[in-house]
Amino acid sequence: MCGIIGYSGERPAGPILLEGLGRLEYRGYDSAGIALFDEQHRLYCARATGKLEQLTSRIEGVLPPAVAGIGHTRWATHGRPSEANAHPHLDPTGRVAVVHNGIIENFAALRERFTARGASFASETDTEVLAHLVAEALDEGADLAEALRVTLAETEGAYSVVVIATDDPGRLVAARAGNAGGLVIGHGEGEQFVASDLAALLPYSRRVTFLNPGEIADIRREGVTLTDADGAVVERAPQLQPYDPVAAVKGRYRHFMLKEIHEQPDVALDTMRGRYLQDPPRVELDDGSPIAAAQARELQRAVLVGMGTSQYAAMIGRHYIERFARLPAEVDNASEFGYRRPVLDPRTLVVSVAQSGETVDTLLAMEEARREGCPQLTVCNTPGSQATRIADGVIHTRAGPEIAVASTKTMTASVIALHAMALHLGRLRGSLDPEVECAEIEAAMRLPAVLGEALLLEERMAAVARRYAQFEDFLFLGRGLSYPVALEGALKLKEVSYIHAEGYAAGEMKHGPIALIDERLATLAIATRDEVRDKMRSNIEQVKARRGPVIALVSEGDDSLDGIADEVIAVPAFEGALAPVVALVPLQLLAYHIALERGADIDQPRNLAKTVTVE
Ligand code: M6R
């Protein structure tokens, strides 16, 4: 969702804020703005609609020297994208400026309260009431941190906020309310940073503190004081982040999405490192398993939750849990989880999958599971995120920062982490055949190299993309482990190229979607060599019989679809349950190259945001 950055220190704040916003722009990009103190300690505020470059060109040469300020890049929730609705928002006297991410549920009532007293509002946003509330508390004599605490108490909803005020130039106060919209503090020498995610802080500091819900950070250049909702000081040592800032830049690639697709061999290695052991062959969760052997044997079922790409990874994880741990498993779309009164108990293992660890739907499902006393594991790419704090145990995916809005490398990492988790659980439950474990480990060791081979398909996929870029409808079909891959292939294509694409279980095709098939609907069929390959071949024949063009993914060496499918893409052969991640690579490349052909905004597709912190 929206990106937030704040700085207090001795260096010029403006360039730091703008650079931070550049790193956060993937979170939202319909408008941007900054607020800082000028030399007379007056608030200077600039906002512009559109991408960050609009703001940058507007303030070039007129940015006042300042040593503290806040910035924001917006993904609209309340109020259309416009300059008036862009953040920061000020109170009517220009004393307070706020940037905010998330939703204030009772904003209408609060707004009403102020307008009844004659106050005016400059925007349609929910955010603006925060500026009014903070200013009101300051008027009543509160200091800035206390004013924010009062504000938090008056508002309902899950959000994060950073505030500056003319009362105390150089000071920022930041808070996280509820489970949406994380904030992280970056600690430097004589300077401090705050941002809605780590990527914006990494060039400046690797010593960071993630705010918990209800906490307020009082940020001055000399240091940061954390307090809880009651005002009690919270002592928490900063964590040292392992991420390499270089990993967050695009390097030689034209887009982050392409860079991240190409990182997958390394990501696979990093996710497996220290977990897939060969002598003797076994899988260990080095993060420490919160599931003791006895508890693992007591488990009666597993429920996996996630959203979007993470949900599709969870669908593959379900196969693994059933296959290796012999535990009945089901997958839930996290946003639907709470609507069904799911039957949960302490013998239900809940496994959440999340790149950001801040997706509000996933966090709400996790909280529901926590209330029911379920043991919980999370497969997560963001150390310190809220998901990692709710879960009893974390399997870090170690994919590094993912900047492109479209997830690629983190799906691969999540699937590998789920594979490791299921094998580990299988051994604890005594349900894993040691020969199967051994074969899976051996296959996994080959995975980074095989992913490297799959990337060599790029030119071929670019050529296919040129032929299919003008299609407006795609069907992606797969069976078994390839079904979630088909769903993900369709999601990638629609996200980055805006082409209508549907993923289906291939067996379902005859039950409706077949009515759509004609020469204008392209079908992508995943027919790599596994136990369902022959059935996939029948589906392909059915599409061809209706004049539908077919792109088929087959395993290298399989010529059975030559002359039948219009395009036959040979994917490097891979034996083992991790095969779906190999098939993902050509689908990611196809989506990328079709989007490139269509001139789409690949790293920042319209309407999307990287981390969805609203329901
Ligand atoms: O951070 P999360 O994994 O919880 O995000 C869930 C989805 O929003 C995410 O997977 C989304 O579908 C992808 N960015 C799509 O590429």
pLDDT of the residue at 338 = 77
Q: Among 38-42, 390-394, 493-497, 540-544, which stretch is predicted with the lowest mean pLDDT?
A: 38-42
Rounded average pLDDT over 599-611? 81
pLDDT of the residue at 332 = 94
The dihedral sign for the CA sequence 258, 358, 338, 371: positive
* Cα 469 from Cα 564, distance rounded (Å): 21
Residue 386, ligand 1, Cβ within 6 A = no
Rounded average pLDDT over 20-26? 83
Residue 443, pLDDT above cutoff 90: yes
Measured in Å, residue 442 CA sits from the centre of ligand 1 at 30
**Structure-block tokens of residue 76:** 């609209």
Beta bridge partners of 394: 378
Residue 604, ligand 1, Cβ within 6 A = no
Residue 179: band (very low, low, confident or very high) from pLDDT cuts 50, 70, 90: low
CA gyration radius for the chain? 25
**Average per-residue pLDDT for the chain:** 90
pLDDT of the residue at 285 = 83
What atom in ligand 1 is closest to the CA of residue 411? 10
pLDDT of the residue at 400 = 87
Residue 532, pLDDT above cutoff 80: no
* Cα 129 from Cα 159, distance rounded (Å): 13
**Structure-block tokens of residue 452:** 């490297």
Beta bridge partners of 552: 525, 568
Give the HSE-up count for residue 310: Cα atoms under 13 Å, Cβ half-sphere: 27
**Using CA positions, which residue lies closest to atom 12 of ligand 1?**
308
Rounded average pLDDT over 261-269? 90
* Cα 559 from Cα 453, distance rounded (Å): 19
pLDDT of the residue at 301 = 96
Residue 246, pLDDT above cutoff 60: no
Could you tell me which residue, 264 or 612, shows the higher pLDDT? Answer: 264
**612, 614, 615, best to mutate for ligand 1 pocket (most atoms within 8 Å of CB):** 612
Q: Does residue 380 carry a catalytic annotation?
A: no
* Cα 260 from Cα 279, distance rounded (Å): 32
Measured in Å, residue 515 CA sits from the centre of ligand 1 at 31
Q: Select from 285, 291, 261 the least CA-distant residue to 273.
A: 285
Beta bridge partners of 329: 302
Centre a 10 Å sphere on the Cβ of residue 338 and count the other Cβ atoms it contains.
Answer: 15
Q: Treating both helix axes as pointing N-terminal to C-terminal, what angle do 579-597 and 409-428 enclose, rounded to 10 degrees? A: 170
Residue 588, ligand 1, Cβ within 6 A = no
**Using CA positions, which residue lies closest to atom 4 of ligand 1?**
354
Measured in Å, residue 237 CA sits from the centre of ligand 1 at 30
**263-296 burial string, b = 16+ CB within 10 Å, else e?**
bbbbbbbbbbeebbeeeebbbebeeebebeeeeb
**27, 196, 256, 307, best to mutate for ligand 1 pocket (most atoms within 8 Å of CB):** 307
Give the C-alpha distances (Å, rounded to integers) separating 46 from 55, 59, 155, 174, 239: 7, 7, 26, 20, 33
pTM > 0.85: yes or no: no
Which range, 79-83, 238-242, 522-526, has the best average confidence (pLDDT)?
A: 522-526
What atom in ligand 1 is closest to the CA of residue 410? 3
pLDDT of the residue at 239 = 87
Centre a 10 Å sphere on the Cβ of residue 10 and count the other Cβ atoms it contains.
Answer: 12
* Cα 145 from Cα 185, distance rounded (Å): 16
Q: Residues 2, 45, 374, 380: which is the catalytic one?
A: 2
Contacts of 118 (CB under 8 A, 6+ apart): none
**Using CA positions, which residue lies closest to atom 16 of ligand 1?**
406
Measured in Å, residue 1 CA sits from the centre of ligand 1 at 11
What atom in ligand 1 is closest to the CA of residue 359? 4
- Give yes or no for a contact between 362 and 310, defined as CB atoms under 8 angstroms apart: yes
pLDDT of the residue at 287 = 63
Q: Residues 259, 492, 494, 610: which is the catalytic one?
A: 610
Q: Select from 406, 413, 409 the least CA-distant residue to 609.
A: 406
- Give yes or no for a contact between 74 and 48, defined as CB atoms under 8 angstroms apart: no
- State the virtual CA torsion across 340, 343, 349, 352 in degrees, nearest 10: 10
Residue 414, ligand 1, Cβ within 6 A = no
**309, 380, 403, best to mutate for ligand 1 pocket (most atoms within 8 Å of CB):** 309
Q: Select from 208, 211, 219, 101 the least CA-distant residue to 160.
A: 101
Residue 308, ligand 1, Cβ within 6 A = yes
The dihedral sign for the CA sequence 399, 360, 214, 121: positive
Residue 385, ligand 1, Cβ within 6 A = no
Residue 42: band (very low, low, confident or very high) from pLDDT cuts 50, 70, 90: confident
What atom in ligand 1 is closest to the CA of residue 610? 14
* Residues comprising the chain, all counted: 615
Rounded average pLDDT over 504-533? 87
Rounded average pLDDT over 579-600? 97
Percent of the chain with pLDDT over 70: 95
Measured in Å, residue 312 CA sits from the centre of ligand 1 at 10
Rounded average pLDDT over 43-56? 90
Q: Select from 614, 606, 615 the least CA-distant residue to 28.
A: 606
Residue 307, ligand 1, Cβ within 6 A = yes
pLDDT of the residue at 289 = 62
**179, 198, 305, 355, best to mutate for ligand 1 pocket (most atoms within 8 Å of CB):** 355
Q: Select from 316, 407, 412 the least CA-distant residue to 591.
A: 407
DSSP at 157: S
User: CA end-to-end span of the chain, whole Å?
Assistant: 11
Rounded average pLDDT over 254-279? 90
Rounded average pLDDT over 310-327? 97
Residue 244: band (very low, low, confident or very high) from pLDDT cuts 50, 70, 90: low
Residue type, 305: V
Residue 181, pLDDT above cutoff 80: no
**1, 256, 305, 310, best to mutate for ligand 1 pocket (most atoms within 8 Å of CB):** 310
- Give yes or no for a contact between 25 and 604, defined as CB atoms under 8 angstroms apart: yes
- Give yes or no for a contact between 403 and 416, defined as CB atoms under 8 angstroms apart: no
Q: Does residue 250 carry a catalytic annotation?
A: no
What atom in ligand 1 is closest to the CA of residue 408? 16
Residue 405, ligand 1, Cβ within 6 A = yes
Residue 78, pLDDT above cutoff 60: yes
pLDDT of the residue at 288 = 59
Residue 101, ligand 1, Cβ within 6 A = no
pLDDT of the residue at 216 = 96
Give the C-alpha distances (Å, rounded to integers) separating 27 from 34, 72, 101, 386: 16, 10, 10, 17
Residue 309, ligand 1, Cβ within 6 A = yes
pLDDT of the residue at 243 = 61
Q: Select from 391, 359, 357, 352 the least CA-distant residue to 375.
A: 391
SS3 state of residue 146: helix
* Cα 2 from Cα 87, distance rounded (Å): 10
**Structure-block tokens of residue 142:** 């509160």
**Using CA positions, which residue lies closest to atom 7 of ligand 1?**
308
Using CB atoms within 10 A of its CB, is residue 136 exposed (0-12), middle (13-18) or buried (19+)?
buried
Residue 217, ligand 1, Cβ within 6 A = no
Residue 354, ligand 1, Cβ within 6 A = yes
**Structure-block tokens of residue 17:** 């804020």
* Cα 85 from Cα 556, distance rounded (Å): 53
- Give yes or no for a contact between 405 and 603, defined as CB atoms under 8 angstroms apart: yes
Residue 255, pLDDT above cutoff 80: yes
Token pair 């009844």: residue? 116
Measured in Å, residue 396 CA sits from the centre of ligand 1 at 16
Measured in Å, residue 395 CA sits from the centre of ligand 1 at 17
pLDDT of the residue at 251 = 64
**Structure-block tokens of residue 493:** 């294509």
